Amino acid sequence: MPEPPRLTTKQVSFLRSRAHGLEPQLKLGKHGDTAGLRKELEQALVRHELVKLRLGKFVEVDVEVVADEVGAALVQKLGHVAVLYRPAEPPRLKLPEE
């Protein structure tokens, strides 16, 4: 898996603002982190770069570990919603510089 991107505070703020209007593309249900979820997450990151996940009410999953394992950066985790970012080749989102 690729190394998760290192994001500056300015870049995280930019990505959070872009993710605000997004609907969650994936939902982590009662089965938690499964191979099917990983496959769907991989496809979503390739298609969109910025992916919003909804975590089920009683799901106990460390989203940081999931993000690291798919080579994505955890942009935000707020309540039961997490936002992951992994740049595509070539990147579609133009991140602000330092």
Instruction: Output the six-digit token pair for 19.
Output: 């993710």
Q: Which fold has domain 9-85?
A: Translation Initiation Factor IF3 (3.30.110)
pTM, entire model: 0.90
Burial class of residue 97, CB neighbours in 10 A (0-12, 13-18, 19+): exposed
**Domain assignments of the chain as residue spans, ordered by start:** 9-85
- Given this model, what pLDDT does residue 56 score? 87
State the distance between the two ends of the chain, measured CA to CA, in whole angstroms: 26
Residue pLDDT, tens place only, 6-41? 999 999 999 999 999 999 999 988 777 778 888 999
Contact 12, 75 (CB under 8 A): yes
The residues facing 78 across adjacent strands are 81
Report the 10 Å Cβ neighbour count for 17.
Answer: 9
Instruction: Output the six-digit token pair for 90.
Output: 């070539």
